[in-house]
Amino acid sequence: MGEPVADSKTPAYVALAMVLAGILITVAKNGLLNGSVLGGVIAACGAIPACIGMWKGIQQETQGTLAISVGAVLLSLAVGAVLIVLGIIHWIR
């Protein structure tokens, strides 16, 4: 197996920052309850660096990095989906 190296949680933190950016764009544009497709897409794109973090966690055999990255993937996809659905509902009304 691989030799353990220092934890790298940076991709997970980047993913969480993208989720926060998507929420902030939504709040600034339409308000949180009206949603925003752009904010949802940015939040959902946070899954990309989080998946890289998952891969690094597997390679480094560190549970902390892997757990934070899995949580970041799930959070970014969930927030992105909610913001997109709310944005589409806002368009239809």
pLDDT of 2 higher than 60: no
Residue 4 counted as domain residue = no
Q: What is the pTM of this model?
A: 0.86
Does residue 76 contact residue 19 with C-beta atoms inside 8 Å?
Answer: yes
Is 41 among the domain residues? yes
Question: Could you read off the pLDDT of 9-52 as tens digits, one per residue?
Answer: 899 999 999 999 999 999 998 888 888 999 999 999 999 999 99
Confirm whether 2 is domain-assigned.
no
Q: Is 73 within the bounds of a domain?
A: yes
Angle made by CA atoms 87, 48, 34, in degrees to the nearest 5: 10
Total domain count for the chain? Answer: 1
In terms of residue numbers, what domain contains 66? 10-92
Residue 54 maps to a domain: yes
**Residue 1, in any domain of the structure:** no
